């Protein structure tokens, strides 16, 4: 059996990928420019005995998603900036309770209601730090419709494997871009399901410190004790404020992502081996940057592109390697400077320049090329 080629726009690809990954529950509240995901899943989920619920708001949406996941189902919600802000408290709850869930954030112009139909990359830092406290998070940033499909599946797999919320963040432009996508045969899609508790029910610890730092989850009704709390808790699930135990609990949450960076990080590089000028970008801007790098190359400049597909945890080592020969690094993004903060932290501010756009328009290749010529001059 061969894979099939389909013409899909980004949000449709996201919805179909969710089904292929095993998603069987979606709760959400419609918001431009993400609504097509909910619309599509309202039709697709009943066909696979799944559940679709339109909730009263985004707070309830993520709450319902967390509840369904705790029931043992693969879950997703989708939103945009204002809704994503409302989800932040429950996002932290999902991280603390180690509840696998996928949250799609289609980024539009902000802050607040902003420009609902215009693209933006203004949530790069909110996705990392939006919820309070030290928490683990995984954020994936696809740049094409094909990659929305592939990364949505990967988001489910990472959420399940590491019992953690995973955010898929992409801009309005690729959300509504129509491209040809290779849809793999369903049985060839590699899917991951979380570890459920097995064996002896007596003495079962719902947050046990296993070797991989990811405790097996008790499925309600199976017999193992279920204990879910947002309070800082010990291995048995009961709350603690003892300094050593509290630090240990939070440290495990962070370490299960930190120590698995090699499994989680994904990057794309283009012509970085000899690059004297390195562009760093995500989403639609990365595609403009790739074109700019091509154009600069054909004019004799050694330009390359580094694109973090996994946005958080930021692929730090991969960036250092890609920038090894770069005298200049340009961070191009549709915000006032967010990704640049991380790149500057890693590479130092000396050689990092910025190109920002906050008018609701994508950054075209020519602007990136011009910016490179200016900083290299």
Partner 1 sequence: MNVHVPHPHRAEIRLAGSGGQGLITGMHILFRALALEGKRAAQSQSYEPTSRGGFCYSDLVVSDELGDYPLATRLDMVAALSQVGLDRSLPLLRPGALVIVDERLTPDPPREGFDLHVLPILGRAVETGSPRIANVVALGALAHLGRLVGDDALEQAVRLETPAKYADLNLAAVREGLALVRGLGASTAEA
Exactly one of 30, 67, 82, 116 binds partner 1 (CB under 8 A); which one? Answer: 116
- How far apart CA 372 and CA 137 sit, in angstroms, is 32
Instruction: Return the residues of window 122-161 that contact partner 1 according to CB under 8 A.
Output: 144
Residue 89: alpha-carbon gap to chain centroid:
17
Is position 250 an interface residue for partner 1 (rule: CB under 8 A)?
A: no
**Cis peptide leading into 176, omega within 30 of 0?**
no
10 Å Cβ neighbour count for 346? 17
Is position 79 an interface residue for partner 1 (rule: CB under 8 A)?
A: no
Is position 7 an interface residue for partner 1 (rule: CB under 8 A)?
A: yes
Least CB distance to partner 1 at residue 177 (A): 5
Is position 163 an interface residue for partner 1 (rule: CB under 8 A)?
A: no
3-state per-residue secondary structure call for 207-260: CCCCCCCCCCECCCCCCCCCCCCCCCECCCCCECCCHHHHHHHHHHHHHHHHCC
- Which residues, 6+ apart, have CB-to-CB distance to 212 below 8 Å? 256
Please, which residue, 60 or 119, has the CB nearer to partner 1? 119
Exactly one of 94, 168, 284, 323 binds partner 1 (CB under 8 A); which one? Answer: 284
Determine which helix (DSSP H) or strand (DSSP E) holds 356, and give its type and residue range: strand 352-356
Is position 320 an interface residue for partner 1 (rule: CB under 8 A)?
A: no
Q: Which stretch binds partner 1 (CB under 8 A): 172-180, 234-242, 257-265, 339-347?
A: 172-180
Please, which residue, 4 or 191, has the CB nearer to partner 1? 4
10 Å Cβ neighbour count for 320? 11
Least CB distance to partner 1 at residue 362 (A): 6
Torsion sign across C-alpha atoms 286, 292, 293, 294: positive
Q: Which stretch binds partner 1 (CB under 8 A): 214-222, 303-311, 331-339, 363-371?
A: 363-371
Exactly one of 3, 4, 54, 178 binds partner 1 (CB under 8 A); which one? Answer: 178
| Token pair 């509240």 in the structure block, residue | 29
Binding residues for partner 1 (CB under 8 A): 7, 32, 116-118, 144, 173, 176-180, 284, 287-288, 290-291, 362, 364-366
């Amino acid at each position: 059996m061969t894979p099939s080629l389909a013409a899909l726009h980004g949000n449709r690809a996201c919805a179909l990928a969710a089904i292929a990954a095993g998603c069987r529950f979606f709760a959400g509240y419609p918001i431009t420019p993400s609504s097509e995901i909910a619309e599509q899943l309202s039709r697709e989920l009943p066909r696979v005995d799944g559940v679709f619920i339109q909730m009263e708001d985004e707070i309830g949406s993520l709450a319902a998603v967390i509840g369904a996941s705790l029931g043992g189902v693969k879950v997703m919600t989708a939103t945009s900036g204002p809704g994503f802000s409302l989800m932040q408290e429950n996002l932290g709850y999902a991280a603390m309770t180690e509840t696998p869930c996928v949250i799609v954030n289609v980024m539009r112009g902000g802050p607040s209601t902003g420009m609902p139909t215009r693209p933006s990359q203004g949530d790069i830092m909110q996705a990392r730090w939006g919820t309070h406290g030290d928490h683990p998070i995984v954020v994936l940033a696809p740049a094409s419709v094909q990659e929305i499909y592939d990364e949505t599946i990967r988001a489910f797999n990472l959420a399940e494997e590491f019992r953690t919320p995973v955010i898929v963040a992409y801009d309005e432009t690729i959300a509504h871009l129509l491209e040809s996508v290779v849809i793999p045969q369903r049985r060839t899609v590699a899917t991951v399901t979380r570890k459920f508790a097995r064996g002896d029910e007596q003495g079962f610890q719902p947050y046990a410190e296993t070797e991989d730092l990811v405790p097996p989850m008790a499925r309600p009704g199976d017999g193992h004790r279920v204990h879910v709390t947002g309070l800082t808790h010990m291995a048995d699930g009961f709350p603690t404020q003892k300094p050593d135990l509290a630090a240990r609990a939070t440290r495990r949450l962070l370490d299960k992502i930190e120590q698995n960076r090699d499994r989680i990080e994904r990057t794309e590089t283009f012509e970085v081996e000899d690059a004297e000028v390195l562009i760093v970008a995500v989403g639609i801007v990365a595609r403009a940057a790739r074109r700019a790098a091509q154009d600069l190359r054909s004019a004799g400049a050694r330009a390359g592109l580094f694109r973090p597909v996994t946005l958080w945890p930021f692929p730090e080592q991969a960036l250092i390697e890609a920038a090894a020969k770069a005298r200049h690094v340009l961070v191009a993004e549709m915000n006032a400077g967010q990704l640049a903060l991380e790149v500057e932290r890693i590479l130092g501010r000396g050689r990092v320049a910025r190109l920002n756009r906050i008018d609701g328009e994508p950054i075209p290749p020519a602007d990136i090329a011009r910016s490179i010529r200016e900083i290299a001059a």
